[in-house]
Structure 1
């Protein structure tokens, strides 16, 4: 049985950041990473963004170089199925056992699925392997149906249409983005896709995906009985945190693995970070965040904590998306059902620059959206920390 000073279950960006955090305080402790993926840790946002739109960004820039930079031993295609907390070991699907002194759970999320044939032309998009296959499908086919109007679905629809592929984008809301943006901004967001040639299919949910009569394509069956044909179907229907291991081993789980300010679980030899971690944020309260900034910052903090740091995790993460040259960033809660204050701050080559404050019943901001406004996430965090309720003051906070 191989044993490690630090064992990380999960092989994503959290694992990379955690290994680097460990090395900041411990130069020689052994690090093991058990990953179910077929690739070593890589930069995930590139899979739906820069790899499609930036010709200077190539595949060799995607791997993070975790093993070379930290000395971590990475075992791919390794799915951990059980934790023995008393014996401080984990067991994988093949029956292998690995010992640990300190363990980090960084198992990430799994994509939501619908009924679909077992076909390499149906992708529940999540991994670098999915990206490689979608590239092949985009080169082979004329039309791809994208399902889901969130980050993954919208970014993939934009990526595909900019690479000459016909795209149908199916989403359940009336206007693309109306679950995030106030109505005028949602209309602006939707117009980006329509003007680029994406065929929008609003107010529809997918019941199932089936092979068509000729068996050389696929059909997406919608909830009104209508069907869309495509050479391939890619689904971005959201994700759920992979908390099975924590639950089975008796750790506290409540909308994620419950951790304290140092990212430790209810077992003092086990930490959790990334998508699965429910942590106490100093601005947002207890929360769970599924975005890259949190993966990187929390992963590093968890690694440092495992290696003996007494620093609490105090970073409030931001999240972002970028389509058709427009980038938006946000901190906090984006709920268009809240009272919103929309502030236009000028124009640039990408269009209007806009700040949106999402306010609770007292008028205090609980979320800040930055549309084409660069280098302002720290200012947005300060707004949430100070929570001014005066509208005139808010209007002048972020220029």
Structure 2
């Protein structure tokens, strides 16, 4: 039985960063990466952003080159079915087991689904393979219906329409982004899509996708149907915690880890989308964005290799559509008394505040190089509105 000094379950950006983090402290320990994906680790945000909008960003820039850079042994299309914590082994099916000295769970998230046919024109968008399929479909033209107004839905709708595909966006709210942005900024955000040519179907929830002849039909609550040649569903994701639960690790809205990213078993770490960790600013939280994957991945690798420094990075998250980039730290809830500061016609800062007036989240709309300032605002807890207006400019 093959035994690794470091065994990583999951083949995403966390796995890549963790392997590199291990190598910072341990140049010789054996590293195994077990991935259910068909592709080696790659930069996931490009799948809904730069690959569609930046002609200088090509597919050869997507793979991260993990195995070449770190010497890790990468096994693709490998599903881990169970963990034996006493024996320190994982099962990969058909009686095959692998051993570990230290184990990292980086199993990521899976897309939420609704009833839909097995059809290569229907995508619960998540993977590089989904991107390749959608790119082929987009090249054929036709009409796309994108379901969901969150990050993936909005970015894919923008990507498709900018690549010549007739695109309709179906989402459950009144105004696109109104669950994230204050009203005036949500209207500005929605107008970007309208000006870009995206058709809107607001206040709509989808029950199922069905086929009729060669056409797809997105069936809405109430019975209305939206015809399509392509359907992309971006309904959010859920953390993949089944393996941790079956192994008896503590799971509470994520795999619970300490400040060193260690689980309730001191030979097992968890990081990325699945990790519920104690953030020094936000408190115990779970974050599903790329900055967290990169920073926590590197930190967990170093932790596995013996570093005893706590993980203290408060991640940011971002999106980019139609030439606008917004970034944020903390909780973006438009009901949290937002203080909107328009720096000029194109640049805006929003402070989301609790009952005391202290910020719990900061949104940077087209404001560059201000993430550290935003983190400082959350740490300081400034409650004076005029003082807040002057913090980021």
| TM-score, scaled to structure 2 | 0.99
2:138 is matched with which residue?
138
Alignment of 1:167-316 (within 5 A): 167-212=167-212, 215-316=213-314
Query: CA–CA distance in 1 between the matches of 2:145 and 2:136?
Result: 15
Query: CA–CA distance in 2 between the matches of 1:189 and 1:142?
Result: 26
Residue 361 of structure 2 contacts residue 378 of structure 2 at CA under 8 Å; is this kept in 1? yes
Residue 330 of structure 1 contacts residue 370 of structure 1 at CA under 8 Å; is this kept in 2? yes
1:24 is matched with which residue?
24
Alignment of 1:352-391 (within 5 A): 352-391=346-385
Residue 332 of structure 2 contacts residue 362 of structure 2 at CA under 8 Å; is this kept in 1? yes
Query: CA–CA distance in 2 between the matches of 1:81 and 1:118?
Result: 24
Deviations 1:293-328 (A, max 9, x none): 000000000000000001100000000000000000
Deviations 1:325-370 (A, max 9, x none): 00000000000011010001124xxxx1000000000000000000
Deviations 1:52-110 (A, max 9, x none): 00000000000000000000000000010100000000001343211000000000000
Query: CA–CA distance in 1 between the matches of 2:141 and 2:99?
Result: 47
Residue 204 of structure 1 contacts residue 224 of structure 1 at CA under 8 Å; is this kept in 2? no
Deviations 1:130-158 (A, max 9, x none): 00000011012311110000000000000
Measured after TM superposition, the shift of residue 25 of structure 1 is 0.2
Query: CA–CA distance in 1 between the matches of 2:124 and 2:97?
Result: 30
Query: CA–CA distance in 2 between the matches of 1:154 and 1:78?
Result: 32
Alignment partner of 1:261: what SS?
A: coil
Residue 141 of structure 1 contacts residue 232 of structure 1 at CA under 8 Å; is this kept in 2? no
Query: CA–CA distance in 2 between the matches of 1:338 and 1:62?
Result: 37
2:162 is matched with which residue?
162
Query: CA–CA distance in 2 between the matches of 1:392 and 1:187?
Result: 25
How many residues matched? Answer: 393
Match of 2:389 among 384, 388, 395: 395
Query: CA–CA distance in 1 between the matches of 2:68 and 2:137?
Result: 33
Query: CA–CA distance in 2 between the matches of 1:150 and 1:224?
Result: 22
Query: CA–CA distance in 2 between the matches of 1:311 and 1:94?
Result: 39
1:332 is matched with which residue?
330
Query: CA–CA distance in 2 between the matches of 1:393 and 1:182?
Result: 20
Residue 359 of structure 2 contacts residue 383 of structure 2 at CA under 8 Å; is this kept in 1? yes
Alignment partner of 2:186: what SS?
A: helix
Alignment partner of 2:252: what SS?
A: coil
Residue 141 of structure 2 contacts residue 164 of structure 2 at CA under 8 Å; is this kept in 1? no
After TM superposition, what 4+ stretches of structure 1 lie above 6 angstroms from structure 2?
A: none
Residue 146 of structure 1 contacts residue 170 of structure 1 at CA under 8 Å; is this kept in 2? yes
Residue 144 of structure 2 contacts residue 168 of structure 2 at CA under 8 Å; is this kept in 1? yes
Deviations 1:240-278 (A, max 9, x none): 000000000000000000000000000000000000000
Alignment partner of 1:301: what SS?
A: helix
Residue 359 of structure 1 contacts residue 365 of structure 1 at CA under 8 Å; is this kept in 2? yes
Alignment partner of 2:338: what SS?
A: strand
Alignment of 1:337-356 (within 5 A): 337-347=335-345, 352-356=346-350
The answer to whether the aligner puts 1:323 opposite 2:318 as a matched pair is no
Measured after TM superposition, the shift of residue 191 of structure 1 is 0.4
